[in-house]
Amino acid sequence: MDSWKKGLATLIGLGCLGITPLTRAQSTPTPTPHVYPEDAVNEILKNCREETETFLPPDLIEPLCECVLTEFQAQFSHSEYQKLIAEAEKKREDPLQFLEIGQQCAVQLF
């Protein structure tokens, strides 16, 4: 199995980060009611790219990361997002909500 497919299987299995359909079928994007500061947006995208570059082909990374960002902004205010990050750093594990978003995006993409 290709390494990116193994990584994707892990991503979907663990519910890690997110994406939008491999078939490129059009889906309705989730509205983004919460606007994050530019530095937060850049940090989310940077972290997403770094986490996925070892197992996804380059052309799938941006759709994945954009989906994750869109879902974060749709589901959490910036303040809520910061609280989840602070809790995650204390526990040294990703918040369950983030893993679920990743899984949703992966299912949409693939």
What pTM did the predictor assign?
0.70
Report yes or no on 49 lying in a domain: yes
pLDDT mean across residues, the chain? 79
Report yes or no on 67 lying in a domain: yes
Domain of residue 90: give its range. 38-108
DSSP three-state, residue 21: strand
Confidence bin at 33 (pLDDT 50/70/90): confident
Report yes or no on 8 lying in a domain: no
Report yes or no on 27 lying in a domain: no
Report yes or no on 1 lying in a domain: no
User: 21 - beta bridge partners?
Assistant: 109
Report yes or no on 6 lying in a domain: no
Confidence bin at 80 (pLDDT 50/70/90): very high
Report yes or no on 28 lying in a domain: no
Among candidate residues 102, 88, 109, 79, the one with its CA nearest the CA of residue 10? 102
**Tokens 């996804």, residue located:** 56
- C-alpha to C-alpha distances, 36 to 26, 33, 43, 47, nearest whole angstrom: 25, 10, 11, 15
Report yes or no on 76 lying in a domain: yes
Q: Phi first, then psi: what are they for 95, rounded to 5°?
A: -60, 140
What pLDDT was estimated at residue 110? 78
Number of domains in the chain: 1
